[in-house]
Structure 1
Amino acid sequence: MAEKLEKGPRKVIKKRGMNKVGRKPLYTEWITEEGLAKVENWAEEGLIGKQIAHNIGINHSTLYDWMNKFPELAEVIRRGRKVMDEQVENSLLKRAMGYQYEEDVLEPDEYGNLVVVKRVVKTEAPNTAAQIFWMKNRRPEEWRDKVDIANEHSGTIRIELGEQEKWSE
């Protein structure tokens, strides 16, 4: 037979003035000036949300919850991503347009050490794939692969299938 547990008198806990027990929520560490600076730096380095969440020690869905709850966190991530996006955009434009760069020519000296003997200017030709990608994203209505064609046909279409004929109205 199971023993019946006796319930003692209930304690009434007042929230006001109560000493909180336990650890502080983890987000309190990350919404400080120092924590936000770390997060922004990770976003500037190109880390995605999952990687930022991993660095913080949380699940990526929790990070997105925090971003909704704390606008300052969402803002530093947006700002950091913008820096990396602009760098990638500039690199893409550079590849699309072509560019020149300097390269050192190295040769060994009498002791076998490599030394710079001359500097040459090299040219990287424009990259057609980068140009197409750029245009498809910048002017999608003119450069997209799918073209909408208006059907302006009215009348009868005749389809020939060898010896058979089929008419469509």
Structure 2
Amino acid sequence: MAKGKYEKWLEKDNLTRLKAWARDGLTDEQIAQNMDVGVSTLYKWKNKYREIREALKKNKEIVNAEIEESLISTMKRHTITTIQYKMVKKDKLVLDAERAKYANLYKIEHPEATKKQITIAVAEKIPVYEQIPFVKTVTEVDPNISSMIFWLKNRLPDKYRDQTFKKLNEAQARKAIAEANISEKQLKALEEADNPDNATVVVDDISKLKELRDKNADSSTKQGD
């Protein structure tokens, strides 16, 4: 492994990539493959370098749980706390202590670093000023109706589904039943029409009707003789 290969994964853009992979639920083996290193190397880096460890500590399940918890919180009456900060210069003793502590950590993680490099790293990492809170505002927020509707429709769809779709489904069911009944009636009518016993003779002339009646009478007389 090339010396200092881990350094590129301490850069901001690559730390963002690590966070995204962890958020997507990738395993350590998959993340190591994306980083082009062995999983044992990744474990060593996680133990040794705080930035990499913190970037990977949240996995997909934790993020999903946080989002669900956040959604639930919007469905209840809750409060939002807003804090405004101001920048003040650190106490000299506190600043010196923080810089000394970070310098020691940096030496351990970067044994090849020069004194100048350590000084620059400390100056970049440990700011002279710090934020302190000076105004705190608490606001009460009503439940979010849209969130409640979304939750109920997904958790209890049979009870809270959109009534428009429910009525449409009922109408389609009634239409299908009606069409089935019509088809049965049409089929029955065709079967009756094909039966010769149900044939009907239509006579539109009275004289032809009498002639037909006389023929039937003669036929009956001959059979009697």
TM range (shorter): 0.3 to 0.5
Q: Which has the larger radius of gyration?
A: 2
Higher RCO (CA 8 Å, separation ≥ 6 residues): 2
Higher strand share: 1
Higher helix share: 2
Task: With the length of structure 1 as denominator, give the TM-score of the two structures.
Answer: 0.39
Task: With the length of structure 2 as denominator, give the TM-score of the two structures.
Answer: 0.30
